[in-house]
Structure 1
Amino acid sequence: MKQLKNQRGFTLIEMLIVMLIITVLIAIAIPNVSKQTSSVDDKGCKAFVQMVQGQVESYRMDKKVVPTMAQLLAEDYLKEGNTSCPNGEVINISAEGVVSSSKGS
């Protein structure tokens, strides 16, 4: 019993200092994570545009014409519903068969 009474715990001041340090670290980390999210979405959009460009070239070799997005979807060159980037940009195919992305309205 005597041993239990002699044990010391953390004081309130020590706990507040630890909480302050944790809060500062979180305040520093959160903005950096949100910046990286937009960067990941942009890189994902570039990769998606390149993938669609590859599917356009494949369709052009098979059918000898430049496809539209509807044709790529209808003939299973793209999965259903994949017509925009993860960041919301819309995929466009020009008459020459060049794939690009643009902000949706």
Structure 2
Amino acid sequence: MKNQKGFTLIEMLIVLTIISTLLILLVPNLAEKNTQVQNNGCKALAQMTESQVQAYEIENGQKPANVDTLINSNYLKTNICSNGTKKIELSTDGVITIVDNIIE
């Protein structure tokens, strides 16, 4: 017989088992990290909104009535977090909160 080089079926099964095991271990961790990243992004949007409220107040002499005022005045592009599940709201006394984004 000729000396053929290549992988045997057993070697391929061992490699596939190792890859499958690694994927089983990594995928849940990635999903958990994604949630953390999205939450941190939403907190960063809230901090940026606070800064833009202050900038609006300095330039216009009064606090904005709501987040839509900041968006319409080009201080913010959006008040919806990147994953679309939460949004930023501004109360009448200037308190910024993160709430669930309920689409009506």
What are structure 1's unaligned runs of at least 5 residues?
none
1:84 alignment partner in structure 2 = 80
2:94 alignment partner in structure 1 = 97
The CA distance in 2 between the partners of 1:90 and 1:16, in whole Å, is 48
Instruction: Give the counterpart letter for 2:61 in structure 1.
Output: K
Paired residues for 1:37-76 under 5 Å: 37-67=34-64, 68-76=66-74
TM-score, normalization by structure 1: 0.85
1 or 2, which has the higher helix percentage? 1
Partner secondary structure for residue 12 of structure 2: helix
What are structure 2's unaligned runs of at least 5 residues?
none
Deviations 1:47-70 (A, max 9, x none): 000001100111111212221212
Shift of 1:25: 0.5
Instruction: Give the counterpart letter for 1:44 in structure 2.
Output: G
Backbone CA RMSD of aligned residues: 1.5
Shift of 1:26: 0.9
The CA distance in 2 between the partners of 1:72 and 1:8, in whole Å, is 67
Paired residues for 1:23-34 under 5 Å: 23-34=20-31
Partner secondary structure for residue 39 of structure 2: helix
The CA distance in 1 between the partners of 2:75 and 2:41, in whole Å, is 19
Identity of counterpart residues, as a percentage?
A: 39
* Structure with bigger RCO (C-alpha 8 Å, 6+ apart): 1
